[in-house]
Amino acid sequence: MVTHVKALPGNPYDGHTLATIIPEMEALVGNIIERLLADKGYRGHNAPADYKFRVFTSGQKRRVTPKIKRELRRRSAIEPVIGHLKSEHRMGRNYLWHREGDATNAVLAAVGYNFRRLIRWLSLLLRQILASLFPGPQGWSDLSG
């Protein structure tokens, strides 16, 4: 599920976006971010002062516990989601105008991705409900006699 998307004007360096993104993510989630796992583009980040030692980048060697190493490996599951947003939800090319169009395109792509996941989950839930209400034959071996 995509929880936060924001189009930033210009072409800012990845590490320079944390000062604006972290407070927005915390307000959206309603909790304090314990640690942030990022790719190498966030090296030399400008995170707020109380987050300086809670941002871990891939390839980092210092202050990395085995648990954080596992979480950094798990972070690789995010990259296909970004690729899927670009290819299937029209984030690769923006057809809307100006900065407002950029922001709208990013948010709508994330909403479309989340709705697709929600519909898939609801269809699985409906199948389970229908299977429990109307059980079919137990197997082909019961029919052969």
For residue range 1-54, list pLDDT tens digits in order: 788 887 777 777 777 888 888 888 889 889 888 888 877 777 767 777 777 677
Above pLDDT 70, what percent of the chain? 90
Q: Is the pLDDT of residue 145 over 60?
A: no
- The secondary structure of the chain in percent helix, strand, coil, rounded to multiples of 5, reads 60, 5, 35
Per-domain boundaries in the chain: 14-133
Q: Is the pLDDT of residue 112 over 70?
A: yes
**pLDDT recorded at residue 139:** 52
- Residue 34 or residue 126, greater confidence: 126
pTM (whole model) above 0.85: no
In contact, 102 and 95? CB cutoff 8 Å = no
The Cα 130–Cα 107 span in angstroms is: 34
**pLDDT recorded at residue 138:** 62
The Cα 17–Cα 105 span in angstroms is: 19
Task: Give the chain's mean pLDDT.
Answer: 80
